[in-house]
Structure 1
Amino acid sequence: MDNSIQNPALRNMYWQEEPTAKEGSPDQKLDQEDFFKLLTQQLNMQDPTKPVENDQMIAQMTNFTMAEGITNMSDQFKTFTENMTSNQALQASTLVGRQVMVPTNEANIPLTGGGANGAIALQQSGFNTKLTVENAQGQVVKNISLGDLEAGVHDFEWDGTDANGNPVPPGNYSISANARMGTSNEELPVQMRAHVNSVSMGGGEGIVLNLRGLGGVKLADVSEIG
């Protein structure tokens, strides 16, 4: 419209531009009322000699109903996911101060001293099974003999002392395990029990348990709760 026209009577004779919805505004979303308006307009504008077939109208209504149902289901699933995350966070918060078993060979000895314990898994019987404890510098602190073990999961414990029976300094230590199976020695998978200090949420990692001296581990990786 030419804004230079000052006479209101003349201005009304010109085509009035209809306001357009801004990008991202709710007006750009078609709802059920908009669909029926379009359907009514379609019926009004159809060729009387070639009316819209009933099956075409039903197909249009069905498609709209399906699209609306999918949108509603997506919203409900999002709400369900948020509720599940909240419930998991609440459950995970009860683990603070407790021991959990995680797939790591790292053990943390606190300032107050103490030992560490975990488990090893054997797919078949192992002979002369041995644990090797190393400090952060890679030096062997202690060797622990577990003897011959049958296939399965076996718990072990390290009392936190070196080969001479003296308490080791606080810090992180790695524990490896190996056994003779058949004609060769094989490394065994190790899991350790660790103390949960706190729980973190978000950041794309889901729920993370913060373990004393070992960092974070996903809740899904926990195999046992003490």
Structure 2
Amino acid sequence: MSLVNSVGQTPARTQSSTQSSTGNPFLDNIRLQGEPAAPENKNQQLDQDDFFALLSQQLSMQDPFKPVDNDQMIAQMASFSTVDGISKLNDEILNLNGVMSSSQALQASGLVGQKVLIPSSTGYLSATDPEIRGVISTPEVIKDITVRIEDDKGQLVKSYTVDGSAGGNVELTWDGLDKDGKPAPDGAYTIKASGKVDGKAQELPVSTYAHVSSVSLGTAATGAILNLRGIGGIKLADVLAVSET
């Protein structure tokens, strides 16, 4: 008797204890046995397998008397196909951008050793580049343009005038000598230009030439980067002109 009581006191583990009933015999028969293990989502994005898993779960849980409309099912599949296609297209575009960046860097490598005109008033003076050349942009004809050379501390190194009667872009050259006729030390120097426009003194934009020492690949957003001696990097798209020397 005691043995029967001990058995009777132990509740039997049946399927109903681990899975609740929906009250619909048809749904209870087609339900999956046990809870399926959710796969680990490493990239936090749904892929095609996840979509079909959700679709299968939706079909198994639908009301057999009110099934999902065929048009609605097709629309869901079409939407997923569109999203999946856009994702693949983005990957192809990224690959194409990488190829274009590499091709641009290869073409830009031909500029190594040459000088390029950049939209900066700072030039670099060294033993290999004993002079600094640049371009002054004028809105109109200016007879006399005052040019000031300043060091990295803002101190005046030399001042002189250039003829701007031709108007437009006026070429300028600094021979690297200070106001006493002595060679200036190596380093970065700023060129400032001013002249009278409509009878009023006005600062004029100055661009300088820089020596291209190397080329970096860059990114799809920046493109190829030209590394300029003593100046730093500049995007290839920002170069205004290329000089032979």
Normalising by the smaller structure, the TM-score range is 0.7 to 0.9
Q: Does 1:86 align with 2:69?
A: no
Q: Does 1:104 align with 2:120?
A: yes
State the TM-score, normalized to the length of structure 2. 0.72
Q: Does 1:215 align with 2:222?
A: no
Identity of aligned residues (%): 40
> What CA distance in whole angstroms lies between the structure 1 residues aligned with 2:50 and 2:196?
75
Q: In structure 2, do the counterparts of structure 1 residues 17 and 152 end up closer, same or farther at CA, with 3 Å as the change threshold?
A: same
Using the TM superposition, give the Cα deviation of residue 35 of structure 1 relative to its aligned residue in structure 2, in angstroms.
Answer: 4.3
Deviations 1:116-146 (A, max 9, x none): 1111111233232121122334343332322
Q: Does 1:184 align with 2:200?
A: yes
CA contact (8 A) 2:104 2:223 kept: no
Q: In structure 2, do the counterparts of structure 1 residues 34 and 153 end up closer, same or farther at CA, with 3 Å as the change threshold?
A: same
Q: Does 1:57 align with 2:73?
A: yes
Alignment match, 2:242: 225
Unaligned runs of 5+ in 2: 1-11, 19-32
Q: Does 1:127 align with 2:143?
A: yes
What code does the residue aligned with 1:21 have?
P
> What CA distance in whole angstroms lies between the structure 1 residues aligned with 2:108 and 2:14?
67
Using the TM superposition, give the Cα deviation of residue 41 of structure 1 relative to its aligned residue in structure 2, in angstroms.
Answer: 6.2
> What CA distance in whole angstroms lies between the structure 1 residues aligned with 2:145 and 2:114?
29
Equivalent residue for 1:66, pick from 82, 98, 106: 82
1:167 is paired with a residue whose SS is coil
Q: Does 1:195 align with 2:211?
A: yes
Q: Does 1:142 align with 2:158?
A: yes
> Which 10-residue stretch deviates more, 39-48 or 162-171?
39-48
2:111 is paired with a residue whose SS is coil
Deviations 1:138-161 (A, max 9, x none): 343332322343542222222222
Alignment match, 2:37: 19
Q: In structure 2, do the counterparts of structure 1 residues 171 and 35 end up closer, same or farther at CA, with 3 Å as the change threshold?
A: closer
CA contact (8 A) 2:136 2:207 kept: yes
Alignment match, 2:185: 169
Q: In structure 2, do the counterparts of structure 1 residues 73 and 12 end up closer, same or farther at CA, with 3 Å as the change threshold?
A: farther
Please identify the structure whose Cα radius of gyration is greater.
Answer: 2
Moved over 4 A (4+): 10-17, 33-49, 201-206
State the TM-score, normalized to the length of structure 1. 0.77
Q: In structure 2, do the counterparts of structure 1 residues 25 and 83 end up closer, same or farther at CA, with 3 Å as the change threshold?
A: same
Number of residues of Structure 1 aligned to a counterpart in Structure 2: 215
What code does the residue aligned with 1:197 have?
S
**RMSD between superposed Cα atoms in Å:** 3.2
CA contact (8 A) 1:105 1:176 kept: yes
Using the TM superposition, give the Cα deviation of residue 219 of structure 1 relative to its aligned residue in structure 2, in angstroms.
Answer: 2.5
> Which 10-residue stretch deviates more, 210-219 or 141-150?
141-150
Using the TM superposition, give the Cα deviation of residue 63 of structure 1 relative to its aligned residue in structure 2, in angstroms.
Answer: 0.9
CA contact (8 A) 2:225 2:233 kept: yes
